[in-house]
Structure formats: C-alpha cells, structure tokens
C-alpha cells in the first residue's frame, strides 16, 4: 500500500479523542461562530477524514492563487484546486482568533469544526476570475462548478482546523461513508497491496462494471475500490441513495466476494474536469490505492472539456514526483455486438458505430421514466430495475 500524499503517514484532522472533542464542542459555545458554505463544510469533511492530507486547514489568498496558477502551495505542496472557506460577510468574526464553523447542511447548524483564524482577506474580482479560469477553464455561469465557486462570497478565512464530525454523511450513509483512514484500515485487513480505484457520481452500467474488471485484471490488482461521491450534485443527477443501491446490487451479483469495497466520500462535486481528476488521484492515494481509473470526460460537464483532457493533464502538467498513484487510462467503453461483450473501443479499430450498443443519457432517462426495460447489453437488469423505480417515482 502506497504512502499518503505529502507525508509518511495519514494525518486526518478529525479529533479522535472523545474527551478532547467534547471539550472543543463546549468551547465552541463561547467563541464567535459563522455558518459556512456547503463547499467549505465538504472541505472540512475531507480534511477530517484524511482525504486532503497533508493540508492542515483552509488556504489564504496567496496559497489559493499559487495553487490555481501552478498547482502547488507557496511552500511547495502539490495541490490542484484551492481549498477555501469563503464567506459573504465576515463582520461577525472580525478580530476573532478562534471561531466555530457551523454546518449549513444539518438542521440547527451544529458546529462541524473549530478554526484558528490566521487571516481574513477579501479576494478581488480579478483574483476570483483567475482562479475560476484556471480551475474550471471557463467563467461561464452556466458551468455548475464555476457558478457555485463564485456564489459563496469573497472573504477568505484561512487557518488550521479541528474537525468535530462528518456532517450528514455518517448518519445518512452509515453503510457507505468512509474516511480515508477507515479505507486504509479495511484494505490492510483484506491484505490488499495493489488496489485500483473507480470514481463515480452516477449509477454504474455495464460499461463501468467492465471497465473496473478490465483494470483489475490487466493490473493484476488485489482489489477494487468503488468510491462514490455522496455530496451535492447539479440538478438532474441521480441521488446518492439510488446510486448506492444500484452499485451495491451490481457488486453483489456480478463480482466475486471480497474483491470490491463499495464506499463513499463526503464532498460536493466541482465538475472541474482535469483539475478535479488530479484531486481525485490525491485523495485515492491517501486511501492507499495504487491506481485510479481515468476515463472519458472524467469529472466533466457539458462540452467544457475535451474527452480525454483529464488524462492529458497527468502527462502535461503533473510532474513525475508529484504523486505516487498511477493512472489507468480508459477509452470509450461499450458493448460490442460482434464480440458479445463490453470492450474499450480503441482496442477494436475494425468496429463501426453500428457495431456497438450506445444509448444517450436522454434516451436512458426517457425509457426508464416510461417503465421500459433497458437493453441487457447496456445495463444489468437488477440495476435497471432500481433506476426504473426511481424515475417512475418522479412522475407520481
């Protein structure tokens, strides 16, 4: 199992000691507090779980700008996206040295973390524009990530944090949410050394299933980590509980036992394409994975990125020493009518478009909402059944 990013051992920011945690919760009642954004809360969850190792807290403007422009902090830590606590109004915590961060996603806004305030800085319009362009490759407000990044405020509160809980993820997804240190522990118990990770924000159809199997077999891996995003998505994406049910059913029926870990992490999707692919690689390295599958339009949305830009960034912008995790490059994957199996299209240049079973997302949603069965070449029937019930429920 490979080392975490940036340190010899994982350093999660969650306060493990129950007595210390209780004392911090008590302290939070007597210090200034602020309700933070969903993005900042997700950053706290990721730092608490060790996913964002070796970061100690939220970045200041200098670090955020350096990360956006050069993919490294001012002290040289390789990092692909700014990790910020942005506020619209910082007047409630003016001159405070220590503050309580309240969770916007849980009723009553309980304290999710305590932060030592090193600086409160206002980000200029030009700085926001540069960060947005570098990270998302667009400033288009129609891009969900760009819009979200620019909607939470311009006051950056920087400094280290102590994380007190994992927001709603532990309670809403008790069987699926796992921290990076829990995943490392589970893989150690299984004796896995070479592990391939698959990132998903969608239910897995046969092409995704076979892609995991291909990577597992070609790399001669010990196991597969299917790692799903559990946080906020754009309108129209499948809810996490439905995705979870689909993936678990697929693994139960179509994979051998003890070869797949089905887990999830608490983060809001950025839709940042190549930059987010690099972030995905970092936190899978922190989980202990040796390989990450990066396929077509990884972490993309609309037509903002080229089909394989997320693979190209690792060759063109990520220097060899930056990460230990390796990338398994995946091509377009589809069911071949000629061969009666799912294949990567680049491996079969003799095939034409008509040799594959291909369905658009719109067509799939239309069929499911009408209660029509998806082709077995496209989706396992057990998975399609769960999706169909969800789409039909939307019309009730």
Could you tell me the domains of the chain? 18-170 (3.10.400.10), 175-394 (3.40.50.620)
pLDDT at 239 (0 to 100)? 86
pTM: 0.94
Active site residues: 201-202
pLDDT at 238 (0 to 100)? 84
pLDDT at 328 (0 to 100)? 97
What residue ranges of the chain have pLDDT lower than 70? 360-361
> Strand 326-329 and strand 291-294: pairing?
parallel
pLDDT at 228 (0 to 100)? 94
pLDDT at 281 (0 to 100)? 98
pLDDT at 364 (0 to 100)? 83
State pLDDT tens for residues 82-126: 999 999 999 999 999 999 999 999 999 999 999 999 999 999 999
> In sequence order, which residues have a C-beta less than 8 Å from that of residue 99 and are 6 or more positions away?
31, 32, 33, 34, 93, 114, 115, 117, 157
pLDDT at 97 (0 to 100)? 97
């Amino acid at each position: 199992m490979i080392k975490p990013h940036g340190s010899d051992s994982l350093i999660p920011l969650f306060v493990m000691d129950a007595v210390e945690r209780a004392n911090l919760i008590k302290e939070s009642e007597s210090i200034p507090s602020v309700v933070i954004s969903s993005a900042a809360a997700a950053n706290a969850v990721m730092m608490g779980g060790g996913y964002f190792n070796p970061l100690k807290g939220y970045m200041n403007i200098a670090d955020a700008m350096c990360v956006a422009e050069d993919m490294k902090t001012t002290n040289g830590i390789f990092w692909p996206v700014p990790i910020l606590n942005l506020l619209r109004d910082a007047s409630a915590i003016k001159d405070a040295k220590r503050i309580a961060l309240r969770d916007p996603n849980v009723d009553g806004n309980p304290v999710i973390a305590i932060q030592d305030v090193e600086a409160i800085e206002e980000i200029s319009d030009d700085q926001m524009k540069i960060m947005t362009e570098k990270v998302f490759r667009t400033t288009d407000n129609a891009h969900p990530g760009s819009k979200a990044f620019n909607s939470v405020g311009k006051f950056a509160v920087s400094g280290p944090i102590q994380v007190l809980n994992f927001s709603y993820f532990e309670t809403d997804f008790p069987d699926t949410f796992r921290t990076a240190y829990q995943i490392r522990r589970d893989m150690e118990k299984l004796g896995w050394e070479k592990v391939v990770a698959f990132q998903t924000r969608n239910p897995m159809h046969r092409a995704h299933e076979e892609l995991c199997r291909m990577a597992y077999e070609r790399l001669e891996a010990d196991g597969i980590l299917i790692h799903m995003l559990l946080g906020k998505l754009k309108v129209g994406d499948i809810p996490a509980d439905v995705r979870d049910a689909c993936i678990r059913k697929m693994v139960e029926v179509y994979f051998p036992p003890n070869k797949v870990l089905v887990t999830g992490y608490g983060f809001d999707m950025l839709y940042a394409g190549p930059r987010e692919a690099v972030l995905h690689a970092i936190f899978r390295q922190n989980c202990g994975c040796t390989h990450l599958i990066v396929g077509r339009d990884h972490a993309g949305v609309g037509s903002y990125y080229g089909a394989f830009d997320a693979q190209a960034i690792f060759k063109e912008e990520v220097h060899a020493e930056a990460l230990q995790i390796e990338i398994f490059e995946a091509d377009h994957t589809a069911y071949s009518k000629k061969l009666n199996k799912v294949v990567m299209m680049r491996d079969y240049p003799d095939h034409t478009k008509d040799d594959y079973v291909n369905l658009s997302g719109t067509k799939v949603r239309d069929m499911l909402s009408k209660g029509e069965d998806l082709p077995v070449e496209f989706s396992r029937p057990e998975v399609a059944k769960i999706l169909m019930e969800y789409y039909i429920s939307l019309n009730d």
